[in-house]
Amino acid sequence: MIHDLVIRNGQVVDGTGAPGIQADIAVSNGKIVAIEAGIKATAKQEIDATGMIVTPGFVDVHTHYDGQATWDSHLNPSSSLGTTTVVMGNCGVGFAPCRPEDRDVLIKLMEGVEEIPESVMNEGLPWSWETFPEYLDCLDSHPHDIDLAALVPHGPIRVYVMGERGVNREPATEDDIAQMKAILAESVAAGGVGFSTSRTLVHRSSTGAYVPTYQAVSSELKQMGEALSGDRGHVFQFIADWQDAEDEFSILSETSAKTGAKGTFTLLDLDGTPTLWREHLDRIEAAQAQGIDIRGQVLSRPVGIMMGHPASMSPFYDRPSFKALQSMAWDEKVAALKDPQTKAKILNEANENPHIFVKIVSGRYENMYVLDDPIDYLPGPDRCVANLAAAENRNPEEWLYDYLLTSNGNALIYIPVANFSDNIPEMLEHPNTVVALGDGGAHVGSICDTSANLYVLCKWVKEKAQLKLEQGIHMLTRQPAELYSLNDRGILAEGMKADINIIDFENLKLHTPHIAHDLPAGGKRFLQNADGIKATIVSGEVIYADGEPTGALPGKLIRGQRLDPRV
């Protein structure tokens, strides 16, 4: 028998949590057909994995490729970092349903919440849809390197049904809710994998206004949630500020109890509410004890914002004298910023209408760190701006101004705003949490957390040895796949989908993010490279080899749950 692909001599870590075994893997017609030592059959393609681990492809359940997937076949940086399946449409933002007259509203909403430039979306989005089913058809018709699934976002539905009333966050009438519920039912029937919403002050439109879903009353969400079905594997995804934690958690728990749908939400360790993450774990455990499946999404490292002149924002970027230099060529701009008079003007000004990220971090120099290469996601106090400035007996704002002009204006700072704590391993290891929140496709000019899956292996498995290798692989593969009932992947076993990573674990290393100008309209974004990923395979086809795309585009749109082919 001639197989399509045989991977030989690797240490197979199968995603179940079981210890690795030395074995070959044979693939035919996009599926794994044999895992055993010394497969004698030949193949059209063979890969020698001697000295490497062979794992399932990573499954990332929290991304925002809603726009990029309509114009780009490569869902990079996820696909270049070992991810083979993504779920997008998180946090209540997206582009469907949408009437032509509301396109600008949804673009500004996505620009504000997920920091994707308006110019990029205006040029890139084809707008060949109005309804959510038509949006799925658009995704289905476009080739991709990896598989993708889409949640149905609350914001566009609210705007579609309520118009200006929805944008202005007016209460929904019973008729409004009935229409929204019907649209959600139609959308999940077409293949949407669940429903998402946002109730956080951090999420705002680029106009500065709160998102349409902010503080939507619990009854609206609970009634809409009735359109979901546990039998069909639906998930209710949620982010909130937890001002009334019991009431907000009840949105998920009551929906799950009534419909059987799973619930999931952003679980962060925040300085301002240091016990909230543990209280949430208690709520999750209580719900699970009642048969209600709710899981927290945990980032494997701090949520880290990068700022500086190459990035989309900095502590100085919205000050009048700084903005006056924006049209200059780079070297000319850097020279102007170094001029003492210009510097004095900028330091004496305030930002006029800065992004919420700048408002959050403004003046907190003790929480700003110089960005080293390779990047340190858990830096010590010796690298913070406040202490570096104090060592030179200087004002921290002036010190930062000068620092950002080093390396010809390319220096960056790193600002951890959540999860900057020692509790990450405990949160990751909880049986009812899922590794997530990499936000692939979003925050393109200030955050590059898509590599958080590899960070589990680099930091918590290899460097700190706080997780076993097989445990870390399980967290990145089968665990998130099960959350979305994608039961045909996340495990290396006969009959399963052949989504596979071949990893040189000893040499696995993350590089510091870098700026690339490769978005529509010349837009820029942070990308990140890694050493040690020998190959990434989707449905039996190699999509990346030694960090370079092969041109293969076997990715498919996932419409709803997937059954385990072994059952």
* Bridge partners, residue 12, by sequence: 21, 54
Question: Cβ atoms within 10 A of the Cβ of 49, count?
Answer: 23
Q: Which secondary structure element, helix H or strand E, spans residue 87, and what is its range?
A: strand 83-88
pTM: 0.96
Task: Tell me how far apart the alpha carbons of residues 461 and 393 are, in angstroms, rounded to a whole number.
Answer: 40
Pairing of strands 235-240, 152-153: unpaired
| Residue 506 pLDDT class (50, 70, 90 cuts) | very high
pLDDT at 114: 79
pLDDT digit string (tens) for 207-256?
767 667 766 778 999 999 999 999 999 999 999 889 889 999 999 999 99
Record the tokens describing residue 172, joined without a space.
């929904």
- The per-residue pLDDT for 168 is 84
2-56+494-506+524-549 against 59-301+419-483: fold identical: no
Q: Which of 133, 239, 144, 146 is nearest to 192 (CA)?
A: 133
* CATH superfamily of the domain spanning 2-56+494-506+524-549: Urease, subunit C, domain 1 (2.30.40.10)
Give me the pLDDT at residue 207, please.
72
Q: Which two tokens stand for residue 84?
A: 């083979």
Percent of the chain with pLDDT over 90: 90
For 306, list phi and psi in degrees, rounded to 5. Answer: -105, 130
Region of residue 548 (phi > 0: left; psi between -120 and 50: alpha; otherwise: beta): beta
Identity (one letter) of the amino acid at 357?
F
> If you average pLDDT over residues 460-480, what whole number do you get?
98
pLDDT at 169: 85
Confidence of residue 111 (pLDDT cuts 50, 70, 90): confident
CA distance 268 to 439: 14
Distance CA 84, CA 383 (A): 35
What pLDDT is recorded for position 215?
Answer: 62
Given this model, what pLDDT does residue 339 score?
Answer: 98
**pLDDT 10s digits, 248-262:** 999 999 999 999 999
**Model confidence over 341-386: pLDDT tens digits?**
999 999 999 999 898 889 989 999 999 999 998 899 999 999 999 9
**What pLDDT score was predicted for residue 27?**
98
So where are the chain's domains?
Answer: 2-56+494-506+524-549, 59-301+419-483, 305-417
Helix (DSSP H) and strand (DSSP E) numbers for the chain: 21, 25
Share of the chain above pLDDT 70, in %: 98
- CB-based contact 510:455 (threshold 8 Å): yes
What mean pLDDT do residues 422-447 have? Answer: 96
- Scored b (16 or more CB within 10 A) or e, 88-113 reads bbbbbbbbbbbeeebeebbbbbbbbb
DSSP letter (8 states) at residue 507: G
Residue 499 has pLDDT above 90, yes or no: yes
Question: Which of 109, 70, 15 has the alpha carbon at shortest distance from 557?
Answer: 70
Q: What CATH architecture does domain 59-301+419-483 belong to? A: Alpha-Beta Barrel (3.20)
Q: pLDDT band at 410, cuts 50/70/90?
A: very high
